[in-house]
Structure 1
């Protein structure tokens, strides 16, 4: 009975996202102990919605009490957002609309999981709809902008549920879910569907479904997981799993959407935040989590550092195992679990970087005396070229000495 009580106490007996009592995603009755042994302090995978760990001050639940209320301001909304008894509509199926909803309380949980019940639907046929929803955990809130209705160059985490392929050369199948972590220095490129700054992503057919669609975002001990339940099977499907992610506490949860020449209804039915019961080391507990800078710790190989890749993308680029630099035991445990994801990501990044450098070479006024130059030389000259806004005919000794 003790084991059975533990099983139900941590929610493994109720496995449907936000709908307790129904069969749904999650492990079978023999897996909790095995997962507990494998994952150590992480108690469960995707929580089932056990109200014991629900943080109501960070949750948006019908009948939406405290939304836009001066007496209990838990959530604020702006733009085209409208509130009904059944959903929060960020944008209607009309052109050039932007709307968002933001939690009023900063979140100081180190380990959390957000369940989002959403619906994207409209009259547009295939590839004649847009643009999508963004889910946020960021430093700033209620700042409208060009990135799915919210600001660019943000600080924190963004998860984009993109429904329209702006890049005609892309091989992706849309709708597409992607993740971006930003410290304010990166800009989201809509023309490339955020490909340059994407950490990972997956195809997810969530538009115009005649049943409920869910997404779960889990952040715990540097590991970011995104899962979906889109097939009306009450089963979570893995979408994104990244390690080495750094997110501070004290940021705000929110959701936004935008439409342009194409449009859709973008609805949020609920956002439920759960606290994860995770043990941290004494050193981790002594960290001021509010001072952490958002980022991703991907390993750099010596070859990449030599050719300048590390300076371009310091937060990504895992190299071959035999060439990896020494790292601490703590970093090793975090990074090795996502090695295959990182290697695939790096392969794509290198191909994109190569194309970018070729374009840069064509646009820069390189002289005949600078036939050979390294990546770092080219980038340094490009930076100076942009800063002083000058157009010399040759690089001369500048290139040779850089």
Structure 2
């Protein structure tokens, strides 16, 4: 080491080599630019390198807004490059916020899908899709029988034969899910989607603790290579801003090229689904307090009028009886 210190060039080269070797264990060293989206977003003109967008999507210097807090908006953002990585992790930095205090919606979806840039009813994208959807549902007015609160994160794997049922928030086709209070917070919210050795793990960092909290883990999930990553969102009668700040894609282990090609023919499937819930009609909303007040007031008026009429009738009968005697 003493001789190396006398040769600064040699020492510098060895130091750089050591740093590079150590960096191989760092997560950032595996980030693949062709599947990632980080600031600055814009390339030449309004185009984003490796990405397309449509609908109401707007690109600013700080975020990509899929929908504004306006009714009946729909937008999406899609990667242009097929994913040929077998084991990967996608970390998405996002924000959902709006003026609504009790009523808001509808939500956004993160996609690993065979189809891209096709608008549709599933949070702004195609129904009967092939691939994986991670759905971040914020619609606060429940659509049927649930045992959870909103916002709610769930996963759906589809081979093109299933339809996402909004009336049941997709609970009959979801793999798993968890509650996640990510809406209208003042700090960064992140979600991690990790797919490794046919195991899907979704985690969140939404409590400003700078640590991951597992949402769910599902084994036996078969996803092919060659699909596309994307994000989409929609608003209806209720609305929110749905913003994407970053997509960071990591290859978690080296990919065998031949295996990656062979996996392109895999049909998306999952070994286990959550038990479907029986469908029941939504409970009709109760009457407002004003309606109840007026009904009670009317009832009281009728009761008082009936009492007065009864007293008058009784007195009249009594007077008639006296006259007869």
Calculate the TM-score normalised by the size of structure 2.
Answer: 0.75
Hey, what's the Cα distance between the residues in 2 that align with 1:92 and 1:265? 4
Which position in structure 2 is the counterpart of 1:136? 111
Which position in structure 2 is the counterpart of 1:252? 228
Q: For the Cα contact (< 8 Å) 1:67–1:74, is it kept in 2?
A: no
Change (3 A) 1:253 1:5: closer
Over 2 Å off, 4+ runs = 3-9, 65-70, 284-287
Hey, what's the Cα distance between the residues in 2 that align with 1:273 and 1:8? 17
Which position in structure 2 is the counterpart of 1:285? 259
Q: For the Cα contact (< 8 Å) 2:151–2:181, is it kept in 1?
A: yes
Q: From 65, 74, 80, give the equivalent of 2:42.
A: 65
**Secondary structure of 1:191 counterpart:** helix
Which position in structure 1 is the counterpart of 2:168? 192
Which position in structure 2 is the counterpart of 1:163? 138
| Per-residue deviation, residues 84-111 of structure 1 (Å, max 9, x unmatched) | 0000000000000000000111111111
**Secondary structure of 1:57 counterpart:** helix
- 2:64 paired with 1:88: yes
Q: For the Cα contact (< 8 Å) 1:68–1:77, is it kept in 2?
A: no
Q: For the Cα contact (< 8 Å) 2:114–2:227, is it kept in 1?
A: yes
Q: From 117, 120, 126, give the equivalent of 1:145.
A: 120
Change (3 A) 1:152 1:65: same
- 2:140 paired with 1:125: no
Hey, what's the Cα distance between the residues in 2 that align with 1:68 and 1:155? 32
Hey, what's the Cα distance between the residues in 2 that align with 1:246 and 1:205? 29
Residue 203 of structure 1: how far off its partner (Å): 0.3
Larger radius of gyration: 2
**Secondary structure of 1:177 counterpart:** strand
Question: Which structure would you say has the larger RCO, counting Cα contacts within 8 Å and 6 or more residues apart?
Answer: 2
| Per-residue deviation, residues 129-168 of structure 1 (Å, max 9, x unmatched) | 0001100000011000010000100000000000014324
Q: For the Cα contact (< 8 Å) 1:66–1:75, is it kept in 2?
A: no
Change (3 A) 1:100 1:262: same
**Secondary structure of 1:288 counterpart:** helix
Q: Could you say what the CA RMSD is over the residues aligned between the two structures, in angstroms? A: 2.7
Q: Which structure shows the bigger proportion of residues in strand conformation?
A: 2
Q: From 178, 183, 203, give the equivalent of 1:207.
A: 183
Aligned ranges 1:323-362 → 2 under 5 Å: 345=274, 348-349=275-276, 352=277, 355=278
Q: Which residues of structure 2 form unaligned runs of 5+?
A: 1-17, 282-325
Calculate the TM-score normalised by the size of structure 1.
Answer: 0.61
Hey, what's the Cα distance between the residues in 2 that align with 1:272 and 1:5? 21
